[in-house]
Amino acid sequence: MTDIKLLKTTSRRLEILASMNITTLEDLIYQYPYRYEVIEEKYPTDEDEHLIIEATVISPVKIFFKGKMSRMSFEVEDKYLQHFQVSIFNRHFLRQHLKLGTTITIIGKCVNHRITASDIKIKPLQDISGIYPVYSLKEGITQKSFRQYVKKALSLLNHEFDDFIPEKYRIQHHLIRKESALYCIHFPENKKDVQEALKYLKYEEFLKFQLTMQLMKQQRTQEMGIAKDFDVTQLQSLILSLPFALTKDQQTAIKEIVEDLKSPQMMYRFLQGDVGSGKTVVSSVALYANYLAGYQGALMAPTEILATQHYQTLSRFFENTDVRIELLTGSLSLKEKERVYQAIQSGEADIVVGTHALFQKKVVYHNLGFVITDEQHRFGVMQRKALKNKGQQVDFLIMSATPIPRTLAISMYGDMDVSTIKTMPQGRLPVKTQYIHSSSMKPILKHLKSYLAQGGQCYVICPLVEDSENLEAKSASQIAKAMQKYFQTQYNVGLLHGQMKEDEKEKVMNSFLNNTIQILVSTTVVEVGVDVKNANMMVIYNAERFGMSQLHQLRGRIGRGQEQAYCYLMSSSSSKEAIERLKYLEKSHDGFEISLYDLKLRGPGEVLGQRQSGLPTFLVADIMKDFPILSIARKDADEIIHDYIQNHEYQGIVCKIQEKLQVNNEYVD
What is the distance between the alpha carbons of residues 254 and 248, in angstroms, rounded to a whole number? Answer: 10
Minimum separation from the CB atom of position 580 to ligand ATP (A): 26
**CA 89 and chain centroid, separation:** 41
DSSP 3-state helix, strand, coil percentages of the chain (rounded to 5)?
Answer: 45, 20, 35
- Establish if 280 lies at the interface with ligand ATP (CB under 6 A): yes
* Closer residue to ligand ATP in complex, CB, 417/531: 531
Tell the smallest beta-carbon distance from residue 401 to ligand ATP (Å): 4
Out of 133, 188, 225, 425, name the contact with ligand ATP by CB under 6 A: 425
Does 188 contact ligand ATP by CB under 6 A? no
Residue 316 sits in the site that holds ligand ATP (CB under 6 A): no
CB of 11 to ligand ATP, least distance (A): 53
Identify which range of 170-178, 272-280, 355-363, 635-643 contacts ligand ATP by CB under 6 A.
272-280
Which stretch in 47-55, 243-251, 635-643, 645-653 sits in contact with ligand ATP by CB under 6 A?
243-251
Whether residue 483 contacts residue 475, with contact meaning beta carbons closer than 8 Å, is answered with no
591 in contact with ligand ATP (CB under 6 A): no
CA separation, residue 146 to residues 30, 152, 517 (Å): 13, 10, 60
Does residue 33 contact residue 185 with C-beta atoms inside 8 Å?
yes
Stretch that binds ligand ATP, among 29-37, 239-247, 385-393, 638-646 (CB under 6 A): 239-247
Which residue number, 97 or 428, has a Cβ lying nearer to ligand ATP? 428
Query: From the CB of 89, what's the least distance to ligand ATP, in Å?
Result: 55
Question: Which residues, 6+ apart, have CB-to-CB distance to 267 below 8 Å?
Answer: 225, 257, 260, 261, 370, 395, 396, 397, 417
- Which own/partner contact pairs does 316-322 have at CB distance under 8 Å and 24+ positions apart? 317/281, 317/284, 318/284, 318/288, 318/351, 320/241, 321/238, 321/288
Give residues with Cβ within 8 angstroms of 481, minimum separation 6. none
Residue 560 lies near ligand ATP (rule: CB under 6 A):
yes
Task: Work out whether 212 is an interface residue with ligand ATP (CB under 6 A).
Answer: no
> Is the separation of the CB atoms in 386 and 212 below 8 Å?
no
> Smallest gap, in angstroms, from Cβ of residue 431 to ligand ATP?
12
Question: Smallest gap, in angstroms, from Cβ of residue 543 to ligand ATP?
Answer: 19
The CB-of-534 to ligand ATP minimum distance in angstroms stands at 12
Is 441 in a helix, a strand, or coil? coil
Within 10 Å of residue 664's Cβ, how many Cβ atoms? 12
Number of residues near ligand ATP (by CB under 6 A): 18
| 629 near ligand ATP, judged by CB under 6 A | no
Which of the stretches 76-84, 241-249, 409-417, 457-465 binds ligand ATP when contact is defined by CB under 6 A? 241-249
CA–CA gap between residue 252 and residue 46 (Å, rounded)? 56
Cβ closest to ligand ATP, residue 353 vs residue 465 = 353
Residue 246 interacts with ligand ATP (CB under 6 A): yes or no: yes
Q: Binding ligand ATP by CB under 6 A: which of 178, 208, 279, 505?
A: 279
Nearest to 27 by CA among 19, 35, 38, 39: 19
Least Å distance between CB 414 and ligand ATP? 24
Q: Does residue 273 touch ligand ATP according to CB under 6 A?
A: yes
In whole angstroms, how close is the CB of 482 to ligand ATP at the nearest point?
29
Nearer to ligand ATP, 13 or 422 (CB): 422
Q: Which CB, 441 or 528, lies closer to ligand ATP?
A: 528
SS3 530: coil
Q: Are 366 and 345 in contact (CB under 8 A)?
A: yes
Q: Does 244 bind ligand ATP (CB under 6 A)?
A: yes
Q: Which stretch binds ligand ATP (CB under 6 A): 277-285, 597-605, 610-618, 643-651?
A: 277-285
d(CA 478, CA 270): 40
Cα 369 to Cα 382: distance, rounded to the nearest angstrom? 19
**DSSP codes joined into one string, 570-605:** EE----HHHHHHHHHHHH---HHHHHHHHHHHHHHH
| Site string (388-407) toward ligand ATP, x via CB under 6 A | -------------x------
Minimum distance from CB of 385 to ligand ATP (Å)? 24
Given a contact cutoff of 8 angstroms between Cβ atoms, the answer to whether 372 and 400 are in contact is no
Q: Which stretch binds ligand ATP (CB under 6 A): 28-36, 217-225, 274-282, 327-335?
A: 274-282
C-beta of 199 vs 279, nearer to ligand ATP: 279
Contact of 308 with 277, CB cutoff 8 Å: no
Which residues inside 500-529 make contact with ligand ATP, applying CB under 6 A?
529
- The distance of Cα 164 from the centroid of its chain, to the nearest Å, equals 28
Q: Does residue 277 bind ligand ATP (CB under 6 A)?
A: yes
Give the shortest CB-531-to-ligand ATP separation in angstroms.
5
β-strand partners of 651: none
Task: For Cα atoms 328, 330, 522, give the angle at the middle one, nearest 5 degrees.
Answer: 105
Is residue 108 near ligand ATP by the rule CB under 6 A? no
339: helix, coil or strand? helix
Contacting residue, 531, 590, 606, 649, with ligand ATP by CB under 6 A: 531
Residue pair 52/34 in contact by the 8 Å Cβ criterion:
no
Q: Determine how β-strand 351-354 pairs with β-strand 325-328.
A: parallel
Q: Which of 188, 278, 559, 604 binds ligand ATP (CB under 6 A)?
A: 278
Query: Is 276 among the residues that bind ligand ATP (CB under 6 A)?
Result: yes
Q: How far is the CB of 244 from ligand ATP (least distance, A)?
A: 3
Q: Work out whether 420 is an interface residue with ligand ATP (CB under 6 A).
A: no
Residues 6 or more apart from 329 whose CB is under 8 A from it?
304, 307, 308, 354, 355, 357, 502
Evaluate whether 199 touches 207 at the Cβ level (below 8 Å). Answer: no
Options 276-284, 411-419, 499-507, 517-525: segment touching ligand ATP (CB under 6 A): 276-284
Of the residues 216, 275, 465, 513, which one makes contact with ligand ATP according to CB under 6 A: 275
Q: Which stretches of the chain bind ligand ATP, using CB under 6 A?
A: 244, 246-247, 250, 273, 275-281, 401, 425, 529, 531, 556, 560
